[in-house]
Amino acid sequence: AQSVSQHNHHVILSEAASLELGCNYSYGGTVNLFWYVQYPGQHLQLLLKYFSGDPLVKGIKGFEAEFIKSKFSFNLRKPSVQWSDTAEYFCAVMGNTGKLIFGQGTTLQVKP
Amino acid sequence: EAGVAQSPRYKIIEKRQSVAFWCNPISGHATLYWYQQILGQGPKLLIQFQNNGVVDDSQLPKDRFSAERLKGVDSTLKIQPAKLEDSAVYLCASRPFGLAVSSYNEQFFGPGTRLTVL
């Protein structure tokens, strides 16, 4: 069965600090990988996605993620966070059924 | 391009009452999903439609939840009767193409309906 595990439930950083959110998945076949963000009071938005090709993918707002197939990981990174990055972040995996499986989410709080 | 529309945005009911949510996906999107997001958790798929047919409803509590997409466009999700543990945000999402893994696999989410069961 597919599953997604996010390592951190709650992360607190100061502005300009670097961010890395861990995500590991369990699935035996071809996967598509996603990071979604949910800002306070807003709906889920796609940050970035990996389908194939270059394992380092860049998304919106300076975020990037690296797919490491051997480690079943898809960690999210940002070199320098801003207060406006305060949100909840969800890693998700989609297999060949078109079904999205989400991790439990990581709440990021950035202090000004 | 208009996004996924959902209504109502908020609903408060008492346990054992019934409630219905409506979703209008992005025009032309063949695949429609309903998710349940309990506070502090990631969204969990309830049901997946491909046009007007059900693809996956394995996690839908069928004794109380039902969903339909009769004309392959908009969809309704119903809970009857509601329980306290149904308090959650119900998200609708749509995707343009079918089931095959492809570069068009992105799902677009609506704003959700926040349900509170008292």
pLDDT digits (tens, 9 = 90+) for B63-112: 999 999 988 899 999 999 999 999 999 999 998 876 555 556 688 899 99
Question: Do the Cβ atoms of B50 and B63 come closer than 8 Å?
Answer: no
pLDDT for res B104? 60
Nearest to B108 by CA among B8, B3, B2: B3
Phi, psi of B4 (to 5 degrees): -75, 130
The overall longest dimension of chain B from CA atoms, in Å, is 43
Identify which of A43, A92, A100 has the shortest CB distance to residue B111.
A43
* Most B-contacting residue of A35, A89, A100, A101 (CB-CB within 10 A), to test interface: A100
Stated length of chain B: 118
Q: Tell me what pLDDT residue B11 has.
A: 97
Residues of chain A positioned with their CB less than 8 A from the CB of B91: 43-44
Confidence of residue A18 (pLDDT cuts 50, 70, 90): very high
Nearest CA in chain A to B111: A43
CA distance B18 to chain A (A): 25
CA B65/CA B82 separation, integer angstroms: 9
Q: CA–CA separation, B69 vs B83, rounded Å?
A: 24
**pLDDT for B87:** 97
* Cβ neighbours around A58 below 10 Å, total: 10
**Minimum distance, in Å, between the CA of residue A81 and any CA atom of chain B:** 23
**Contact state of B101 with A90 under an 8 Å Cβ cutoff:** no
A92 touches B: beta carbon within 8 Å: yes
